[in-house]
Amino acid sequence: MTMDAYSKIEKLIADRYGKDTTTRKAVGDFMLTDTHAVNVKSNNVAKQNYSPNMISIQKMHKWVFEERKQLSFIFVDYEEEGDNLRILNQTELIPIEHISWDCLSIEAQGYGVIQKIGPLKTIKDQTKRDFYKGFLVAYEKYRQKEHKKHENFAKRFIKDPDRIDW
């Protein structure tokens, strides 16, 4: 019931706000307004936690910093009881800029994806400017890591294909 559970929780949360869920390609799982997207991040407490993807950096950057729109997250812990879901914990709306980079990382997927890598840490008075400064640091770290990965792979390349016994 894995993907099913995510969809059920997204719909449940959107319903609580009187909104419809969006498509998978949208910035948020539902829209509070035309300029305020909300992503619901659900966690099945019975399963081993991993680093969940929050949003691609391209989508986040365009929506929040280029178009100057709002993006918030709601984090939900749940458990499955047969075909039923039981919500154990749910945060209020958390604007992306209030999430600390101490619990986020940019990882390889497309141009990069923001992942939650530890327990949620928020900074209620962190501004979008401060969040963006943290993003720039995290992005540079990501770029360096990706560059090194590609450099190491390139060392395996055969420089002269004519010398290969095809």
Cβ-defined contacts of 139-142 (< 8 Å, 24+): 139/57, 139/106, 139/112, 141/106, 142/105, 142/106, 142/107, 142/108, 142/112
Q: Are strands 104-107 and 36-44 parallel, antiparallel or unpaired?
A: unpaired
User: Above 90 in pLDDT, residue 82?
Assistant: no
Q: Is 116 left (phi over 0), alpha (psi -120 to 50) or beta?
A: beta
Tell me the one-letter amino acid at 81.
Answer: E
Query: How crowded is residue 2: how many other Cβ atoms within 10 Å of its Cβ?
Result: 9
Which pLDDT belongs to residue 109? Answer: 86
Among 56-60, 121-125, 158-162, the range scoring the smallest mean pLDDT is: 158-162
Cα distance between residue 100 and residue 87, in whole Å: 24
**Every domain of the chain and the residues it spans:** 2-155
Q: What is the mean pLDDT of residues 9-37?
A: 92
Res 159 pLDDT > 70? yes
- Whether the pLDDT of residue 8 is over 60: the answer is yes
How far is residue 104's CA from residue 107's CA, in Å, rounded to a whole number?
10
> CB–CB of 19/8 below 8 Å?
no
Tokens matching residue 52:
């969940």
pLDDT at 29: 94
Is pLDDT at 78 greater than 80 in this prediction?
Answer: yes
Which homologous superfamily is 2-155 in? DNA mismatch repair MutH/Restriction endonuclease, type II (3.40.600.10)
Backbone angles phi, psi at 3, to 5 degrees: -65, -35
Strands 36-44 and 70-81, how do they pair? parallel
pLDDT at 2 over 60: no
Per-residue pLDDT at 96 exceeds 50: yes
